[in-house]
Each structure stands twice: as structure tokens, then as C-alpha cells.
Amino acid sequence: MPRTTFQELLDACVHFGHLARKWNPKMAPYIFDQKNGIHIIDLHKSIVKIDEAATVAKQFARSGRKILFVATKKQAKDIVAEKAAAVGMPYVTERWAGGMLTNFPTIRKAVKKMNTIDKMIEDGTFATLAKRERLQITRQRAKLEKNLGSIKDLSRLPSALFVIDVQKEANAVKEACRLNIPVIAMVDTCCDPTPIDYVIPANDDATKSIAYIMDVICAAINEGLEERKLEKDKEDAEAPVEEAPAKKIRPRKEAAAKAEEPAAEAPVEEAPVAEVPAEEAAPAEEKPAKKAAAKKAPATKKEPAKKPAAKKAPAKKEAAEEEPKAE
């Protein structure tokens, strides 16, 4: 079932295009007719494209990814800021800072600087500064808040861009195309739809038209966020049921110690089994012992080789003969 109806789009003035003399020929497939020098957009095609864009936005929100809303034109500023903040998505309604996507780390540094100033104010260190320094920091904080306050929660690159008026936000579209970030955009008859991934042919100048398209996209994002929340609740509810038996199975320290004691005693009981083969092997060990004794036996017969000790006997006789001479 489509999210929009033909009559609702007609009442919101979505069908009014731009001046015929300022048209872009690439928008010809989405133009129904020309009346009083103004192109009329084919709302049947707009219904299909709005549903496609809403489905994509819902998928991004369901997966927990961020969509950056970009609208710096006067008619769309307040509407986009209000709708995007209600859904919890980042938005840019002031000047698009060059390199906001391609030079994202530098933008993050500026956001961190703003956060440090906030911490100084909370800690009380801000009050200890000189009056001139406080004025400078206050002005700097106000400037950062104006340009980057809406994206201070954007910790990484967005997963998609939603742009109103592709001509005015040409830099944002170029940066997104360079980084392969999908772009959802409201495209009027004077714009080029080539770089846009999800084209919504609609009037991007009337506040009623912008508010209506934003309502449809934000409603789809809300659906995605609610589905994500329900999935998380189911996972949280199922997780304790699976963990409960695992906790009961865990043995206590005392039970583990008791289990280790019989395991340590088991080898001691096996000791007598090992003694039986030892006794059988004893007779086998006696034979090598006898052989070793047999080898050592001839060593004892070699005692007569100690003949030099017997030759020393004449020396004793000479000593006995010398004794009477001394007398």
C-alpha cells in the first residue's frame, strides 16, 4: 500500500514545477505537462518514488545507521530542523561547510573543541579566566553551535543524505558522490537528477510540499527505529533464558577440588599392578648380574702382577747389614 495518495500530493502543491524556460531536459520523464509557462510534475511517478525513498530510509533506520538531512534554503530550514530532531537524526540547516564529509576528521575536531568548552563551563574553570578570554570563548562556542551543533552526535560518516534543492546543495551532493554515500533528494524540474540515487520529483520551493515529504520520510524512519527497538527487546528477553542453565552447570570450587582428589589418588592404587611384572623380571635381571660377576673374576687373578713389591726385600737386608756396622 502506498504511503501517499494522489489527492494529498495535490493539496500539498507537490505537482508544481519550475518555469518552463529554466527546465532541465533530464527531468523530462517526470514532467506531465506545461501550463502558463510552468511545468507540471507527474504525481503518479512521484508516489512511486516517495514509497521507494521511504523504504530505503526505513531500512537505514532499522539497521541503526544515520541519515543526514541537508536544507539551507530559507523555506526549508525550520521544517527540516524540527522534523529531523524529532526523529533523532543529524541535520544541516546553516551554511554547508566545505569538506564536511570528505574532510570529516577536521569537522570532528571542531565538534570536540565545542565539547571541551562545555566541560570548562561545567567544571568551573571557565569562571577563572579573564573577562576578555571568556568573551572570545563564548563567541567561538556560539559560532560552532550555529554551524555544527546539529551534528555533534554524528561520530562517523552518515549512511545516507536527504537533500532539499539539489542545485543549492550541489557541494553536499558532490561530496556524497565522491564517498559513495547514497543520496535521497527532492528534485524540481530545473535540477539534474543524474547524481541522485533516489529521486523524488516534487516542488522544493513550497513549504507545504517540503513539510509533507518530510512527514512521510520521518514516519518511515520512526517505523524503522521502532522495529529495531522491538528486535533488541526480544534479544534481551531471550538472552537470560539461554544463560540460566549455563550458570547452574558451573561446579563450585569445593566440588572441583573433591573431583581432583580421587584423580590424584588413582595412580597410587595402580602401583601394586606395576610390582607384579617387576618380580617376574627379577630372574631375567639375575643373568646379566652373573655375567657381570664373571667378567670381574679375572680381574682378581691378576694380583701376582705386583712383583715390584717383592724386589724391595733386598733393601731390607742391606738395612740389617748396616746396623751391625754402626754398632
Residue 194 belongs to some domain of the structure: yes
- CATH number, residue 210: 3.40.50.10490
* pLDDT single digits (tens) 227-248: 999 988 888 888 765 555 555 5
- The DSSP bridge partners found for residue 164 are 186
In the block, cell 540460566 appears at 244
27: DSSP letter: G
Cβ–Cβ < 8 Å for 72, 91: no
Is 152 strand, coil or helix? Answer: coil
Are 68 and 174 within one domain?
Answer: yes
Cβ–Cβ < 8 Å for 47, 6: yes
- CATH number, residue 114: 1.10.287.610
Are 88 and 166 within one domain?
Answer: yes
Residue 173 belongs to some domain of the structure: yes
Q: Whole-model pTM?
A: 0.69
* pLDDT single digits (tens) 35-80: 988 999 999 999 999 999 999 999 999 999 999 999 999 989 999 9
For residue 280, report the phi and psi dihedrals to the nearest 5 degrees: -70, -30
The answer on pLDDT for 222 being more than 70 is yes
The angle that helices 43-62 and 207-249 make with each other, rounded to 10 degrees, is 30
Are 166 and 64 within one domain?
Answer: yes
Residue 281 belongs to some domain of the structure: no
The answer on pLDDT for 260 being more than 70 is no
User: How much is the average pLDDT of 278-285?
Assistant: 46
Which domain covers residue 45, as residue numbers? 6-96+157-235
Cell representation of residue 202: 516534487
* Chosen domain end from 220, 235, 250: 235
Residue 299 belongs to some domain of the structure: no
In the block, cell 733386598 appears at 314
User: How much is the average pLDDT of 245-263?
Assistant: 54
Are 70 and 184 within one domain?
Answer: yes
Are 118 and 169 within one domain?
Answer: no
Residue 246 belongs to some domain of the structure: no
* Chosen domain end from 207, 235, 263: 235
